[in-house]
Amino acid sequence: MGFGFAVAPCRFPPGMTIPNQAIDPPDGLGREVYRILHGVFGFDEFRGTQEVVVEALLAGRHALAVMPTGSGKSLCFQIAALVRGGLTIVVSPLVALMHDQVTGLRLAGVVADTINSSRDRADNVAAWRRVQSGETRLLYLAPERLMTERMLAALQRLPVRLIAVDEAHCISQWGPAFRRDYADLARLSGLFPGVPIAALTATADEATRRDIADKLFDGDGEIVVAGFDRPNIKLAVEARAGGTGQILAFLARHAGASGIVYCLSRKKTEKVAALLRDHGIHALPYHAGMDKSARDANQDAFMAEPGVVMVATIAFGMGIDKPDLRFVLHTDLPGSMEAYYQEIGRAGRDGLPAEAHMLYGLDDIRMRRVFIEDEGADDDRRRREHQRLDALIAYCEAPTCRRRTLLAYFGEPIEPCGNCDVCLDPVEMVEGTEVGQQALSAVLRTGQRFGAAHIIDVLRGAKTEKILSLGHDRLPTHGVGADRDKNAWRSIVRQLVATGFLNLDIAGYGGLTITAAGHELLRGAAAFSYRADTMRRQPSAARKSKSAPVSDLDEAGLALLDTLKDLRRQLASERQVPAYIVFSDRSLHDMAQRRPATMAEFADIHGVGAAKLRDFAEIFLAAIKAGAAL
């Protein structure tokens, strides 16, 4: 199967060649794609839905790729960029993220550049000259720089063949007071007609996916959604009971491991970092109120040194790709399910066991409501954000498998996971079939178009102006739940949503509708149980964490792995890049297990492309030989 355009030759540094090995590509993608996949990036095959995204872009179609963190989203547009030829523009929100991706591409032998405000003017000028000359294949820009009229006019004179928008959920989810230029990216399809746009994100519910596709390519593109599940991350939520002791107890289970502790405020970030340091933990703060040089120094230490715990606000995390993070701890409720999923996704990117733990309380919910109201957004956005927060609260109160609730929000059904706190330590449940039927009956009799607040008012027998004007005070269900207060009913309704008996319309006005399972419950063909007093429930004794990394290496292999990590750290320090840019942990593990002795054997190591074979093979082969001799 071919494509309707000529494949341009890839441009790499002088003297570099891509191995032209015998390749038998699967149907659908050409030989050149697999030659680049293996010869440049060192991979033998695509993972998950990568191939589908690449195929769409090479056929000239727009594509939105929603793929879990660590699944290789960037490779989709990088492969397509090298095959299509010309210039690819990559829109990225953070300087650090641009720097890391450009450095990683250069180490792989690909000519990539970034122009941004953190670089000297002379460096930016030199980069632009490489772009104008046709030498640069991928140019990374922040939306604020790209969407200036001067930059757009200059790029329109160049052979732009592909546009990639990273962290594309920002287009839909960032408020009007933050990064306005992300919304302005909606102009790109008109400014560069015929150029395919790749939008990439790890986090987008169905409403957000539609919004991104509508804004970036007028809905005319493919939406490719990979599974959202990260089964190696253990999930747990705990009602806050003091907080300090719970934080220290959790960190004690992860002694010596790297992780992130998220806090709601700058003040709390400093306080928790100091608390952890007082208890002998190497903890560093990170928030927007710090001096930039101090923030950068702490981030560099976190990326380069083992066992560092970063205590941070949400100002930290996007674009941070540290594969060996063993945990993410939220000391406060995140802003939404999307934010939560994005933040916990920074743990366990190496595929080894990790843990995501959240503490939450009633004050968190109140503060999050205040944040939404104070954002300055229009009524429609505020309504949606409140509904997203409701979904997260329902997740916190989920009476059944927590991962099942999380993935159901993104439209992915799974069986109970066996690796969350509810599966491992089931909660006490109250038989609630009758109370569930009362709530569902109120939803049904009011027309399945009202939100939780109105339904609860009906159940409790309130006589609001709205209830009286609609005649809902005459319904049989009016007042049947007067024996429960509003908080109890809110929890029950959220749990009916969390367990799939009710559906919450996030894209619309928050109306509740009854699902097929809910109709079964109404008919008495299904049962409903719920957890009572979730905010006051005392946590049971914590089970032993499952997040300790495991390895199939013998004692000598583990010693060699440590040696290779030290060598990688030294090489990364010399090049002033994060260690994973040199080689991933998986690559080092592969070396320690297979112990290559020749260049040809080293070329078969996971993640070794032509450039890394040229630049690093002799150094690592010598270290492996020395280690084997001990």
Report phi then psi at 257, rounded to 5: -95, 155
446 pLDDT higher than 80: yes
Q: Quick one: pLDDT band at residue 506, thresholds 50, 70, 90?
A: low
Give residue 548's pLDDT.
39
Statement: residue 20 has pLDDT above 50: no
Q: Residue ranges of the domains in the chain?
A: 31-225, 233-424, 434-530, 555-629
Q: Does position 33 have pLDDT exceeding 70, yes or no?
A: yes
pLDDT(373) > 70: yes
The 8-class DSSP code of residue 425 comes to: S
Is the four-CA dihedral 144, 148, 151, 155 of positive or negative sign? positive
Q: What is the pLDDT of residue 507?
A: 62
The reported pLDDT for the residue numbered 179 is 59
Name the residue with higher pLDDT: 406 or 16: 406
Instruction: Find where tokens 């090995």 sit.
Output: 21
Sign (positive or negative) of CA dihedral 412, 418, 423, 424 = negative
Contact status, residue 89 vs residue 139, Cβ threshold 8 Å? yes
| Fold of the CATH domain 233-424 | Rossmann fold (3.40.50)
pLDDT of res. 508: 64
Same fold, 31-225 and 555-629: no
Residue 533: Cβ within 10 Å count: 13
DSSP symbols for 66-101: E--TTS-HHHHHHHHHHHH-SEEEEE-S-HHHHHHH
Q: Is the pLDDT of residue 550 over 50?
A: no
Query: Residue 199's closest CA among 191, 396, 208, 267?
Result: 208
Query: Is the C-alpha dihedral spanning 215, 217, 221, 227 positive or negative?
Result: negative
pLDDT band per the 50, 70, 90 thresholds, residue 534? low
Q: Yes or no: say if 327 and 259 are a contact pair by the CB < 8 Å rule.
A: yes
Q: What is the mean pLDDT of residues 424-452?
A: 91
> In sequence order, what E strands does 501-601 have?
502-504, 512-514, 529-530
- DSSP-derived secondary structure letter, 616: H
Mean pLDDT computed over every residue of the chain: 85
pLDDT at 493 exceeding the cut of 80? yes
Q: What is the pTM of this model?
A: 0.66
Please, is 435 exposed, middle or buried when counting C-beta atoms within 10 Å of its C-beta (0-12, 13-18, 19+)?
Answer: buried
Q: How would you list the strands of the sheet with 259-262, edge to edge?
A: 233-239, 354-360, 327-330, 259-262, 309-312, 283-286
**Alpha carbons 400 and 359: distance in angstroms, whole number:** 18
pLDDT at 346 over 70: yes
pLDDT in the model for residue 549 = 43
> What fold characterizes domain 434-530?
Arc Repressor Mutant, subunit A (1.10.10)
pLDDT score of 2: 33
Residue 540 CA to residue 584 CA, distance in Å, equals 38
Percent of the chain with pLDDT over 90: 47
pLDDT in tens, 199-258: 998 878 888 888 899 999 988 889 998 878 889 999 999 888 777 899 999 999 999 999
Q: Read off the amino acid at residue 412.
A: E
CATH superfamily of 31-225: P-loop containing nucleotide triphosphate hydrolases (3.40.50.300)
pLDDT digits over 77-90, tens only? 999 999 999 999 99
* 517 contacts: CB under 8 Å, gap ≥ 6: 499, 500, 501, 526
Per residue in 594-623, pLDDT (tens digit) is 999 999 999 989 888 889 999 999 999 999
558-578 pLDDT, tens digit each:
889 889 989 998 998 888 777
Which stretch of 31-45, 277-291, 543-557, 579-593 has the lowest confidence by average pLDDT? 543-557
pLDDT of residue 540: 40
Point out the least confidently predicted range of 394-403, 426-435, 498-507: 498-507
- The yes or no reply on domain 555-629 and CATH 1.10.150.80 is yes
Res 319: pLDDT: 61
